[in-house]
Structure 1
């Protein structure tokens, strides 16, 4: 949005001020819509075995947790891990939904879009990417065998 050019004749200046004010008002409206829509975002994820389903709100807080009767076959530690992993997957899913809202409402402001999405990325990293980063690389020189005996 360009700044109004003031000066010249009074009617021209007044029209420029009106146009500038309307643009500012429209932009503020779009940002308010973005905020309302982001606040309404939620995401869900289901564990690989289908035992756990978690839904989180835009802040990443759990709003729904469903555990099937198949959980009886799991250890307490296994169920805990399934719940936490599924919750992290749901939280990571927020980024894509927020990105859609940002693109639709304030997509013409890449600095704001990038700042918000970066904050979501930092707060809710992809759990599968973290898992891959934690795994040591395969030792290809020895075909999985150790040279220590």
Structure 2
């Protein structure tokens, strides 16, 4: 935005002031529009096998979390990892949406656009790739000979049983037959 030129006569100065005030007002409206649109940004992401679906808002806060019944096949730790990974992937996509809003509304102020988008990139970096889920066909093999002697569990050695003594019935007939 150009600064007004106040060096002329009274009429010219007044016109410059009006033009400058109108430009400031127009810019303020664009920034309010940008702020409102950024506040409406929402991103939904699903896990690879659709067990988890997470929606986040422009601040990165989770606004919706859906876990399908397929979760019953997962261990708790695996489900937790899937939720966090899906959430982080959704958060990392916020930056693209905010950049699009910023460019469309206040794109002529490249310094502000760059500062805001960079801030989002720092807050919501790209997540690590989602770990592969093992399939039912994976078989792990372990051989006892591969375990170092120090790591082997102690073996139980059975003690020989004492010989049966007929005096256990204290002279009467056996109780159990």
Classify the TM-score, shorter chain.
0.7 to 0.9
Who is 1:70 aligned against? 70
Identify the range of structure 1 (80-89 vs 6-15) with the bigger mean alpha-carbon deviation. Answer: 6-15
Deviation string for 1:15-39 (max 9, x for gaps)?
0010000001100110111111101
8 Å contact kept, 1:44–1:93:
no
Q: Secondary structure at the match of 1:7?
A: coil
Who is 1:46 aligned against? 46
Deviation string for 1:25-84 (max 9, x for gaps)?
100110111111101111111101111000001100000001110000000000000000
Who is 2:32 aligned against? 32
Say if 2:21 is the partner of 1:21.
Answer: yes
Could you list the structure 1 runs, at least 4 aligned residues long, displaced by more than 6 angstroms after superposition.
none
Deviation string for 1:70-119 (max 9, x for gaps)?
00000000000000000000000101110111011001111111111111
Which protein has the bigger helix share? 1
Query: Deviation of residue 10 (structure 1)?
Result: 1.0
Query: Deviation of residue 8 (structure 1)?
Result: 1.5
Who is 1:7 aligned against? 7
Instruction: Return the structure number with greater relative CO, CA threshold 8 A, min gap 6.
Output: 1
Query: Deviation of residue 7 (structure 1)?
Result: 2.0
Work out the CA distance in 2 between the residues paired with 1:84 and 1:91: 10
Work out the CA distance in 2 between the residues paired with 1:88 and 1:118: 17
Q: Secondary structure at the match of 2:108?
A: coil
Unmatched 5+ stretches in structure 1 = 132-149
Measured on the aligned residues, the alpha-carbon RMSD in Å equals: 1.2
Unmatched 5+ stretches in structure 2 = 132-177
Say if 2:103 is the partner of 1:103.
Answer: yes
**TM-score after normalising by structure 1:** 0.85
8 Å contact kept, 1:92–1:125:
yes
Work out the CA distance in 1 between the residues paired with 2:8 and 2:19: 16
Q: Secondary structure at the match of 1:127?
A: coil
Who is 1:121 aligned against? 121
**TM-score after normalising by structure 2:** 0.71
Q: Secondary structure at the match of 2:64?
A: strand
The total of aligned residue pairs comes to 130
Query: Deviation of residue 128 (structure 1)?
Result: 3.6
